[in-house]
Structure 1
Amino acid sequence: MWSAHHRRTAVIGWLLFVVLSTVVGGASGMVEMTESEAGSGDSARAVRILADAGLEQPAGELVLVSGDTADAWRPAARDLTAAIERTGEVSRVQPPLPSKDGREALVRFEMKGDAAGAADRVQPVLDAVRDTDRAHDGVELHQFGRASAEKWLADLLSDDMRKAEFTAVPLALGILLVAFGALVAALLPVVLALTACMAAFGLLSLASHQLHLFQTTYSVMFLVGLAVGVDYCLFYLRRERDERAAGHDAETALRIAAATSGRAVLVSGATVMLAMSGMFLSGLMLFEGFALATILVVLIAMLGSVTVLPALLAWLGDRVDAGRLPFLGRRRDGARESGAIAGAVLRPVLARPRLFAFASLAVLLALAAPAAGMKTEQLGMEKQFGSDAPLTVAHERITEAFPGGPEPARVVVTADDITAPAVTAALGGFERVTVHREKNVAEIEVPLPGDGSDTRSRRALADLREHRLPDAFDGTGATVLVAGELAESVDFNDQLKKGIVPVFVFITVVTFLLMLVCFRSWVIALTSVVLNLLSVGAAYGVMTAVFQHGIGASLIGAEAVGAIEGWMPLFVLVVLFGLSMDYHVFVVSRIREAHDRGADTPAAISEGIRRTAGAVTGAAAIMVAVFAVFATLSMQDMKQMGVGLAVAVLLDATLVRMVLLPSTMSLLGHHNWPRRNRKRPVPARRSSPAGV
């Protein structure tokens, strides 16, 4: 109400906050995490040893030159070597290494300068490879390496983010136009959500100087920020308009909206932020960055919806309905229609709650069943972009011709004296050894059979760690650690398995306690946790079926990659536990309002769900649309995140909230409510169990 009475201060203060955050954050720039910070376990320690010693591996590149016949590659390889050397950006160009059949050769070289900035300098090399490929008929060139992959990835991420922004925002606006039938009312949530994201981007950039971030953190923030920001404003605005339609004056309607939907937004926002904070317990900097980003954007969106939004509503008054679109119909008719549809669904559910509770539970468990066989790994770049992507084709062709070439294991050996006879003798048992005498560090490259991530590669890595290295360096006093892409993936997954337990315990306990404080009912609190777990399980099952087994993957332009991205299960668990509270708190709050007025439980359930049907449908449609946009992006992890979240929200807002929640609450009856609130139902409601 302070905001409503101090409109100018609230609006100008919000704008200044957004502008200052954006400008200062943009000037500071974002700091990305290093390779060692992104990892865990021995592989991260190995990378950190090299970095601390100033021995960070240069950005290596591989170019496969293949011809139609044996030795047909030689002229192209000779021209390629000369062309890449002329760029002045490469060093240590090795002579072409022929394959066993003589029809292919591998050219190895490194980018000059710091590996972290190699992607910014690799374009002349890419041009040289492309020009050589065009100049030689009957010969194909395929390039794969750190610099070229990061350059390709950066360009792709930039294109994908533009696609997400230019698709998700119009989709959200279109859904809001349908929900409200007026341009101004539809624009308010979108504008507030976008400004909240802008402010969060700036503050996150500042924070990244202390907590370094993963490259996709901004995408995750935008995804959550747009969905949550629009939903919070939608809930608040819908309740204010409903109260105005019921005949209340502007200030009374705003006060009621603040006391009901405003309170629900605060509870929901607090729940989301506390759930997100569980990611700090994972032991991985990746999730700490995700936690910080999502907490920031949810906090700002929540504050905007209960400060600047009331100020704008008080200033606009009836002008919030400006820009009415007649072809969308009258607002109150749309709200009544949503309630009528919800009432039609609820009649059989409340008439036979046991049947519908078991049926909906069976559907959710069936969808969750594939999750029992879920496999996780850190998907390499060759799996992130589909089998037809140039990066994937290059990786596969190089791996076929030279197994272990693109992604060998990197062994880091440290000792008090790396030149000691025992250590030198142990190093002599390996082929690709680089000794840094002044740093007392040695690096060994060990090619792994298989494609770098399959069962053969994993067995070879386990054998290397458990047998070959201990046997070779036994008694030397050296410390031996294994890094490389596969080792990093294995260590990352091991840490996730350890970290997911405290995260899971934390968010379930926090959700239970928050619902207990909010509704004063341990039954509702426990039901909230169980329903969330069912939604998450269904999301896991669908993700596994689509992306691990390929069922229906072609419908969204994806394909089976045999595994789920390693960080996805924990991230989806935390985000869904937070976001599902939007609907749950909003719906159950209206059910409790009706019950507190004297309605019996079935009538309160029906009234609460019918009155919130329009807002929940609109909010769910926006979230599903935003998440679905990310399912159409190029990267496999973005697709998995988009599908997992979209499916879970869709199920949560339909099957769970419209069938399982009402049927479960109906079966529990008066046990839903604290004993002091178990009021005797009024006779009029008793005669109409369904409340319709």
Structure 2
Amino acid sequence: MAELLYRIGRFSVRRAWLVLVGWLGVLALAGGAFLAFGGTLTQSMSIPGTETERVTEQLDARLGGLGGATGTVVFQTDDGEALSESQQDAISALLADIAEIDGVSGVVDPFAATSERSDQAAQLADGSAQIDAGRAELEAGQAQLDAARTQLEAGQAQLDAAVEQAKAAGVYDQAAAQFDAQQAQLDAGTAELDAQQAQLDDGRAQLDESAAELDDGERLMDAAAEIRTVSEDETTAIGVVMFEDDLFSLSSELKAEVAGELDGADIEGVNVDYSSEIAASIDGLIGIGEIVGVLIAALVLIIVFRALLPATLPIISSFIGVGIGVAGSLAFSGVVDMSSVTPVLGVMLGLAVGIDYALFIINRHRRQVLAGMELHESIQLANGTAGNAVVFAGSTVLVALLALNVTGIPFLGIMGTVGAVCVLVAVLIAVTLTPALLGLIGTRVLSKRARAEIGHEVHAAPKLVAMPTWRAIVTAVVSIVVLLVIAIPALSMRLGLPDGASESPDATTYQAYTAVSDAFGAGQNGPLLVTATLPDAVAEDEVVATQADLAEWLMGVDDVVAVAPVGVSDERDFFAFQVVPSDGPSSETTEALVHELRGQSPIGGDAASAAGLDGVELGVAGGASGNIDISAKLAGVLPLYLAVVVGLSLVILILVFRSILVPLIATAGFVLSLFAAFGATVAIFQWGWFGEVFGVHNPGPVLNFAPIIVMGVLFGLAMDYQLFLVSGMREAYVHGTPARLAVVAGLRGGRAVVTAAAIIMAAVFGGFVFSHLTMVRPLGFGLAIGVLFDAFIVRMLLTPAIMHLLGPAAWWLPKWLDRLLPDVDVEGAALERSHPVHGAAAAGESATDASTGDVEADDAAEFSADRGA
């Protein structure tokens, strides 16, 4: 590989303009492909097989479209006065216009809903009054009927007495006809009273039935009492936009069209804000924070190179690489569902690794030119040696990102693939365009003062002195303790997706969220859709009663503040309800409520039996439920992905360093820096520490896919730093330097470039901490702080200290394994031997030569014993 890269470097130097124009042409093609074939991005993430997705599909199949996404629109007066009639009319007209948009299945007019609710309440009140009046009439009728029956019974008694007297006097036969006529009259009266009693009983039964229906309606009204569309002070109203597609299929174009209608609304005295389900714009990939990060990276390059021109080369090459990688990836967004965060990750990685990889090659070239090597030969050799390390380093990042596909989570796999493409382009740019640009600027890669010192002995490395053992012990202990302490918050990490409360205070989504919370309660921002599947269908006249029984049961669950029926299947065995929790969609109580509802299915217990709800199966869907399911799924794959990454780390490092303990040290260090990064992220974004500094005004759960992305990217970068530092230690050791002095030699040779690279990485990633995209901030912070921990604590402090304590044992490898492993010349040592530096000694040789007169007695004995073994 080193020889191939050497030849690529030679071609690039000789055909510099061709290479530059070629890459610019590729950039133009990528941009054209994006414009021609690019599709839409989504702000929602879906994972096949979740409970929410199953229930959503069931809602679509059984209730015809209830599984569609819904967005909230909040209308609030800016003077705190009640909404006027003209303002209400304008709001209703706006929502009616939105209802006509293709893809919108309907809207809820807050004033029509309030009026309808008032009408229903009035109807219930009228019905109750009519039932009371009917009962009074029935009671009066019953009293009259009872009085008539009493009179009739008295008449019957008189007739019976007269008959007895006639029989006693022996005159019954003469009066029999008269007695029969009187009895017939009495019997007719009794029959009429019985008929009237039957009518009264029928009326009473009808009233009882109506009263039961009225009671069911009142129970439903009571359960939904807290679901309002107009606030009590009438200053705030909530409209709802219902989409045909579900949240995960909703296109950005449709959301943008609806948002455009709302943004263009000019209702005097009314502020219009809307929820994240409608807010579709990502406002560009680069903001002011990201620009500041790149400027800091440029400043670091100027300090490292002490010249402006060479400092611009990594910036130029990285921007070309980012443009190609991101635009090329977005060209496939029309055929692949791609999250809006995906290109942002590509920009982050492309800029960071693109600048760093160019830095490694340019830095090697500058050292060689200072040592006296001919310019073009130096470019070619730098490309073959440092470029070889860049290819290996990029490969580790590439593998880590592509490994995201093993999680089985589609949007994560796509994010990893796009990131990998951007890293691949950065590597190709580094080993082709960087040599071409170096050839174009010639000796101006050095400052004027440095060019005057080319080949001087002043560049020879100083003598090596091993660190004291006590310092190594203290450094190792302090480093481990610091990282473990910082990692403590990670034990309480809770994953989720940010809701409107996490957005910037000037964002429409934040304004909508807070307005709804203040006027209607936080739970209105994330209502749940709860389904109930009955074991048997109910009769048509039992539907309302069943809805009321289910609503009452749901109201009995903790943290439920309101329940409203939203649909019944034609078979009358499937019911759906809107359930409003007590808190917002990302709260712990809402998460607990979702799990409790699912845990109660099928319904059982005495209360359920009394209400006839035994065996009813519950399902939960909605935006909040979907986010909870996705977070749980992501948390579940974290251990698997960590195992894959750790396994890869051990295999790669054993191949590179031909050692068992060095890979174990490197991997353990990576795990320490990873969990420290998790801990810091939890402290900032979940606990709210230093919230004012990082713009966290409302702490919440950690972005659910941030840990797994940070894990993959940090793994690749950690292997980069391990390679650039420890490979120098190994090179010095195999060339005869005692183990402990080899640690110092490798650290001295690589720390400057690794320091610069880490600062650049942290600056680029850190720029995204202040991004206008809420989901990007924890991602940028986790990567930035993870790079700082890994580079400055693990690689520059902990690893050298432990390797010093291990001495030659750090490089132990079983002989059988040594014979099996291929020789991976990552440093390009073979190429250096065939293309030696002319003039002054190379940096590595200088370090080795300088160390020979400074070997302490114990190190010399250690070294001899090791070589003898």
Q: TM-score, normalised by structure 2?
A: 0.69
The equivalent of 1:78 in structure 2 is: 88
Q: State yes or no: 1:106 paired with 2:106.
A: no
- CA deviations 1:125-160 (Å, max 9, x no partner) are 4347663335xxxxxx56333554x14xx1xx3256
Q: State yes or no: 1:370 paired with 2:381.
A: no
- How does 1:628-643 map onto structure 2 within 5 Å? 628-643=766-781
Amino acid at match of 2:11: H
- CA deviations 1:468-493 (Å, max 9, x no partner) are 77468999999853211221122112
Amino acid at match of 1:650: L
Q: 1:685 to 1:292 in 2, by over 3 A?
A: same
Q: 1:619 to 1:88 in 2, by over 3 A?
A: closer
- How does 1:420-439 map onto structure 2 within 5 Å? 429-430=550-551, 431-435=564-568
Q: State the superposition RMSD in angstroms.
A: 3.9
How far, CA to CA, are the matches of 2:448 and 2:777 in structure 1? 35
Which one of the candidate residues 208, 214, 217 is aligned to 2:342?
217
- How does 1:436-585 map onto structure 2 within 5 Å? 443-467=576-600, 470=603, 481-585=619-723
The equivalent of 2:50 in structure 1 is: 41
Q: State yes or no: 1:357 paired with 2:465.
A: no
Which one of the candidate residues 310, 315, 324 is aligned to 1:185?
310
- CA deviations 1:479-516 (Å, max 9, x no partner) are 85321122112211221122112101100000110111
How far, CA to CA, are the matches of 2:396 and 2:724 in structure 1? 13
Structure 2 residue matching 1:405: 3-state secondary structure? helix
Which one of the candidate residues 261, 265, 274 is aligned to 1:144?
274
1:331 positional shift: 9.6
Structure 2 residue matching 1:158: 3-state secondary structure? coil
Amino acid at match of 2:778: Q
Structure 2 residue matching 1:121: 3-state secondary structure? helix
2:330–2:343: 8 Å Cα contact kept in structure 1?
no
Q: State yes or no: 1:391 paired with 2:509.
A: yes
- The structure whose Rg is larger is 2
Structure 1 residue matching 2:283: 3-state secondary structure? helix
Count of residues paired in the alignment:
669
Which one of the candidate residues 853, 858, 867 is aligned to 1:684?
853
How far, CA to CA, are the matches of 1:623 and 1:350 in structure 2? 32
- How does 1:325-364 map onto structure 2 within 5 Å? 352-364=471-483
1:606–1:690: 8 Å Cα contact kept in structure 2?
no
The equivalent of 2:189 in structure 1 is: none
How far, CA to CA, are the matches of 1:50 and 1:599 in structure 2? 71
1:173–1:190: 8 Å Cα contact kept in structure 2?
yes
How far, CA to CA, are the matches of 2:433 and 2:706 in structure 1? 34
1:436 positional shift: 6.6
Q: State yes or no: 1:20 paired with 2:150.
A: no
The equivalent of 1:121 in structure 2 is: 257
Amino acid at match of 1:262: G
Query: Which range moved further: 48-57 or 456-465?
Result: 48-57
Q: 1:164 to 1:365 in 2, by over 3 A?
A: same
How far, CA to CA, are the matches of 1:560 and 1:331 in structure 2? 56
- CA deviations 1:398-446 (Å, max 9, x no partner) are 1343343221112357899999869997556453313575999865322
The equivalent of 2:7 in structure 1 is: 2
How far, CA to CA, are the matches of 2:597 and 2:460 in structure 1? 62
Amino acid at match of 1:84: L
Q: 1:72 to 1:210 in 2, by over 3 A?
A: closer
How far, CA to CA, are the matches of 1:59 and 1:490 in structure 2? 18
How far, CA to CA, are the matches of 1:210 and 1:280 in structure 2? 18
How far, CA to CA, are the matches of 1:217 and 1:510 in structure 2? 24
How far, CA to CA, are the matches of 1:162 and 1:68 in structure 2? 33
Q: 1:348 to 1:40 in 2, by over 3 A?
A: farther
1:43–1:483: 8 Å Cα contact kept in structure 2?
yes
Q: 1:186 to 1:65 in 2, by over 3 A?
A: closer
Which one of the candidate residues 786, 791, 801 is aligned to 1:648?
786
Amino acid at match of 1:366: V
1:367–1:541: 8 Å Cα contact kept in structure 2?
yes
Q: 1:232 to 1:73 in 2, by over 3 A?
A: same
How far, CA to CA, are the matches of 1:66 and 1:292 in structure 2? 47
2:326–2:343: 8 Å Cα contact kept in structure 1?
yes
Query: Which range moved further: 488-497 or 41-50?
Result: 41-50
- CA deviations 1:16-52 (Å, max 9, x no partner) are 3333233223321044358573576111233455678
Q: State yes or no: 1:292 paired with 2:436.
A: no
Q: 1:133 to 1:245 in 2, by over 3 A?
A: same
Which one of the candidate residues 785, 790, 797 is aligned to 1:659?
797
Structure 2 residue matching 1:73: 3-state secondary structure? coil
Query: Which range moved further: 623-632 or 397-406?
Result: 397-406
Query: Which range moved further: 631-640 or 216-225?
Result: 631-640
Amino acid at match of 2:739: T
Query: Which range moved further: 36-45 or 615-624?
Result: 36-45
How far, CA to CA, are the matches of 2:420 and 2:302 in structure 1? 28
Structure 1 residue matching 2:296: 3-state secondary structure? helix
How far, CA to CA, are the matches of 1:529 and 1:251 in structure 2? 38
How far, CA to CA, are the matches of 1:319 and 1:329 in structure 2? 8
The equivalent of 2:204 in structure 1 is: none
Q: 1:127 to 1:185 in 2, by over 3 A?
A: closer
How far, CA to CA, are the matches of 1:420 and 1:75 in structure 2? 43
1:684 positional shift: 2.4
Q: 1:58 to 1:503 in 2, by over 3 A?
A: closer
How far, CA to CA, are the matches of 1:241 and 1:433 in structure 2? 71
Q: State yes or no: 1:203 paired with 2:328.
A: yes
How far, CA to CA, are the matches of 2:500 and 2:389 in structure 1? 42
Matched-pair identity in %: 26
Q: State yes or no: 1:236 paired with 2:361.
A: yes
What are structure 1's unaligned runs of at least 5 residues?
A: 135-140
How far, CA to CA, are the matches of 1:161 and 1:306 in structure 2? 26
Amino acid at match of 1:361: I
The equivalent of 1:138 in structure 2 is: none
How far, CA to CA, are the matches of 1:683 and 1:320 in structure 2? 33
1:275–1:511: 8 Å Cα contact kept in structure 2?
no
The equivalent of 1:133 in structure 2 is: 269
Q: State yes or no: 1:94 paired with 2:86.
A: no
How far, CA to CA, are the matches of 1:686 and 1:571 in structure 2? 45
How far, CA to CA, are the matches of 1:557 and 1:569 in structure 2? 20
How far, CA to CA, are the matches of 1:354 and 1:457 in structure 2? 48
1:368–1:541: 8 Å Cα contact kept in structure 2?
yes
How far, CA to CA, are the matches of 2:242 and 2:625 in structure 1? 24
2:729–2:742: 8 Å Cα contact kept in structure 1?
yes
1:602 positional shift: 2.0
Q: 1:253 to 1:596 in 2, by over 3 A?
A: farther
How far, CA to CA, are the matches of 1:22 and 1:417 in structure 2? 59
Query: Which range moved further: 215-224 or 538-547?
Result: 538-547
Structure 2 residue matching 1:24: 3-state secondary structure? helix
- CA deviations 1:245-288 (Å, max 9, x no partner) are 11222354345424432222122111111111221122322211
